Amino acid sequence: MDDQSFLARRLDRAAVPLAIGDVLVLMALLTVGTLSHRPAEFLANEPTYLLGVWAPFLIGWALLAPLVGAYSAGAVETAKSSVPLVVRSWVPAAAVGFALRAFVFRGGVAPTFVAVILVTGAVALGGWRAIYFRVR
C-alpha cells in the first residue's frame, strides 16, 4: 500500500523551477494583456492595479495546478510529459480565475476574454516549458 498522500504524489521538489517559471509567465502574460488595454502611465499611477489582475488567476493556479499534476514527478521528466500537464492544469485554473475575477475581483469575463486567456495562457505556459526542457 502506498503511504503517500494524494497531494504528496502531486508535488515533486524537482518541480520548483517549473513552478517559479509558471508564475512568472502568467504574471507576464497578464501584464502584457493589461498593457494592451491600459496605458503604462495608468499602471504607474495605480501600482496595486496589477495585483487585482494577477490575483484571481494566480489563486486559481495555486489551487488547481498541483491537483492536476503540473508539479508531479511526471512533470519534471520531459517536455513531452510536462507540456500536456501544464496545459491540462491551465484550463481549470483559468476557470477558477474567471470566477474569482467575476465575483470577487474587479474585471469582466467577456467570452472573447475567456477565449484569449485560455489560448494564450496554454501557449505561453506550454511554450515556456518546452523551452525549459530544451535548454536545461
Read off the pLDDT of residues 47-104 as tens digits, 9 standing for 90 and up. Answer: 899 999 999 999 999 999 999 999 999 999 999 999 999 999 999 999 999 999 999 9
Q: Looking at residue 3, what is its pLDDT? A: 61
CA–CA separation, 82 and 123 (whole Å): 13
82 within 8 A of 27, measured Cβ to Cβ = no
Alpha-carbon distances of 109 from 12, 95, 101, rounded to whole Å: 33, 10, 7
Q: Which residue is listed with cell 510529459?
A: 81
pTM: 0.92
Mean pLDDT of 15-29: 98
Q: What is the C-alpha separation between 42 and 4, in angstroms, rounded?
A: 48
Distance CA 57, CA 72 (A): 20
